[in-house]
Chain A
Amino acid sequence: MTDSRMPVLLENVSFRYDGRWILEDVSLQIEEKDFLGVVGPNGSGKSTLLKLILGLRNPQQGRVLVYGNRPGETQGWIGYVPQHLAFDRSFPVSVTDVVLMGRLGRTRGLRRYRPEDRSAAIEALRDVGIESLRERGIGTLSGGELQRVFIARALVSNPKLLILDEPTTGVDIGTEKAIYELLKELNRKMTIVLVTHELNFVSAYVKRVACLDRRLVCHPTDEVPSSLYDSLYLAPIKMVRHDHDLDA
């Protein structure tokens, strides 16, 4: 049987919303220090898959285990980076305020932040290279900078598993590369799952790729045939890099 301490285990998971199946019969295993890229077209259930792992949604069928526990009972073990484009940029908070929200689960009683929470926040900002922005309001940041803030918020609780939803949407190509380099570095210490609809870069950095279109179309252990990409995107994709050892 499978190791119960495996970071993520999905067994025959199906999820329905508003009478429509978003995910059907998905089985997936993610191992320690894995770096899994989940690719698929818009509406393929990628974000939902992440939310099942996070315990923000419950599947109607099947079973999800995170480090052998039910999702949602793994507080502090998972760092989550949501789609930054969904955020209200005019919301009146500073960079440090946002990063500290990643430590809220560790506070008790009146939920005040302690000095060690603040130093952890500064350290996380240093790790993602934007310590100098810590007093800035989030409304003044570029898309790439805001994405780093959310990565810092995910890292501030020292997670074992990092989950990212479309981390490079809406950022320029240089920032995209820098974010993937950062993730590659983080992957030495933690397991990473990311979801994306952009294939170009991701295949050069991740260790495994899973293709999702409501069902898992290709299993992460398989080779990814280029014909599959064509069928997913309905257009030939010229640059599918699948060279895992490539040093970019």
Chain B
Amino acid sequence: MEFLEAVKNYPFLQNALIMGVLSSIACGTMGAYVVVKRISFISGGIAHAVLGGMGVAYFFGFSPMAGALFAALFAAVLLGLVSLRAREREDTAIGALWATGMAIGIVFISKTPGYNVDLMSYLFGNILLVSAGDLFWTALLDVIILAAVFLFYNPFLAVCFDEENARLQGIRVEFAYLCLLCLIASTVVILVHVVGIVLVIALLTLPAAVANLFVKRLSQIMVLASVLGVAFAWFGLFLSYKPDLPAGATIILLAATSYLLCLVFLAVRSRMQPRR
């Protein structure tokens, strides 16, 4: 097989495959929360605010990743507070931050002197350009996420399912919810240079959404979504290699097609079953 041959010879493909595994762990785990808590719109707002942070950091000569992380965490806390304290404004706030983040990013990137930044690589990422440093940071994020979820599984679950009960049980609901959003924000930042700002939300939601069709416990969704994420990433890389398609977009299309096929499969199966 040509692809396997290439994997053996090119370190950039090996890095891409490793990144597929590492990013899928973060995506599958946090994506499970995004899907069951139904906060993909908030997550999208955080992702797009990232461009603003990157643009400003570039303009002033700081590391764009530091700018991205700062913007993501800022957006997470801001949108989290709006969601907790002024739910009727949540939709508007997300939309405003979404567009404003993009606009700030575009303005600052266009005015950055002597440095022609490739805007496309921010928006759509490139898993084939992943460096050893990227792998290290993603692995570190995985450790942080898995530790947090292991330690706070029960309170996080209680907050996602029923905020009022969690509050009556003495859980610090606002703090827990903001922690969840900050973990999601960190995941978004790491994934931005894999699939880019525009596509990150798909990697966060699709594997967990597919998993949720088949398993009915949060922990099972996390595990299955991570496994599916690896499958999508690897098979997507394989499919994109020969025809030289953009890898990130191919991975997302593969995930979306799988989700659609699973929905159709389940719909047909429930039709076939005799009514009880």
Known contacts A92-B216, A93-B217: does B165 contact A80 (CB below 8 Å)?
yes
* A7 contacts the other chain (CB 8 A): no
Given contacts A92-B212, A92-B221, A111-B152, contact A104 B158 (CB under 8 A): yes
Instruction: Write the nearest CB–CB distance from A233 to chain B, whole angstroms.
Output: 28
Closest CB-CB distance, B187 to chain A, in whole Å? 20
Closest chain-A Cβ to B55's Cβ sits at a distance in Å of: 37
Distance A137 CA – B161 CA, assembled complex (angstroms): 13
B-contact bits for A46-72, CB 8 A (1 contact / 0 none): 000000001110000000000000000
Q: Does B132 contact A (CB under 8 A)?
A: no
Q: In the complex, what residues of B have CB within 8 A of residue A137's CB?
A: 216-217
What's the minimum C-beta distance from B210 to chain A, rounded to whole angstroms? 13
Roughly how many angstroms separate A98 CA and B216 CA in the complex, as a whole number?
A: 13
Quick check: which of B2-10, B41-49, B92-100, B168-176 contacts chain A, the rest being far away? B168-176
Interface centre among A55, A90, A139, by most chain B C-beta atoms within 10 angstroms, is A90
SS class, residues of chain B in contact with chain A: helix
Residue B162 lies at the interface, judged by CB distance under 8 Å to chain A = yes
Q: Is B215 an interface residue (CB 8 A)?
A: yes
Is A113 close to B, CB under 8 A?
Answer: yes
* Contacting pair A94 B158 (CB below 8 A): no
Q: Is B157 an interface residue (CB 8 A)?
A: yes
Interface residues of B in 146-168 (CB under 8 A from A): 151-152, 154-155, 157-158, 160-162, 164-168
Partner of B168, one of A54, A110, A139: A54
Q: Does B231 contact A (CB under 8 A)?
A: no
- A102 interface residue per 8 A CB criterion: yes
Q: Which residue of B lies closest to A107 (CB)?
A: B154
In the bound assembly, the distance between CA atoms of A160 and B168 in angstroms comes to 15
A129 to B167, CA, bound (A): 27
Known contacts A92-B36, A93-B157; A82 and B164 CB within 8 A of each other: yes
Interface centre among A91, A97, A105 (most CB of B within 10 A): A91
Q: Which residues of B contact A112 (CB under 8 A)?
A: 154
A101–B158 contact, CB under 8 A? yes
Query: By the criterion CB–CB under 8 Å, are B165 and A94 in contact?
Result: no
Counting chain A CB atoms within 10 Å of each CB, the highest count among B169, B217, B220 belongs to B169
Contact residues in A for B161 (Cβ distance below 8 Å): 91, 93, 98, 101
**Contact indicator A110/B151 (Cβ below 8 Å):** yes
Cβ of A153 < 8 Å from any Cβ of B?
Answer: yes
Knowing A92-B36, A92-B215, say if A105 contacts B162 (CB, 8 Å): no
B227 on interface, CB distance cutoff 8 Å: no
Contact B169 A75 (CB under 8 A): yes
How far is it, in angstroms, between the C-alpha of A56 and the C-alpha of B169 when the chains are bound? Answer: 11
How far does the alpha carbon of A80 sit from the alpha carbon of B164 in the complex, in Å? 10
Say whether B216 contacts A153, CB under 8 Å: no
Taking the complex as formed, is A78 at the interface, i.e. its CB lies under 8 A from any CB of chain B?
A: yes
Residues of A within 8 A of B169 (CB): 75, 101-102, 104-105
Docked-complex contact A111 and B216, CB < 8 angstroms: no
A-B contact pairs, 7 of them (CB 8 A): A80-B165, A88-B38, A92-B215, A101-B162, A104-B169, A104-B171, A137-B216
B residues at A contact (CB < 8 Å): 36, 38, 151-152, 154-155, 157-158, 160-162, 164-171, 212, 215-218, 220-221
Measured CB to CB, the residues of A under 8 A from B are 54-56, 75, 78, 80, 82, 87-88, 90-94, 97-98, 100-102, 104-105, 107, 110-113, 137, 139, 153
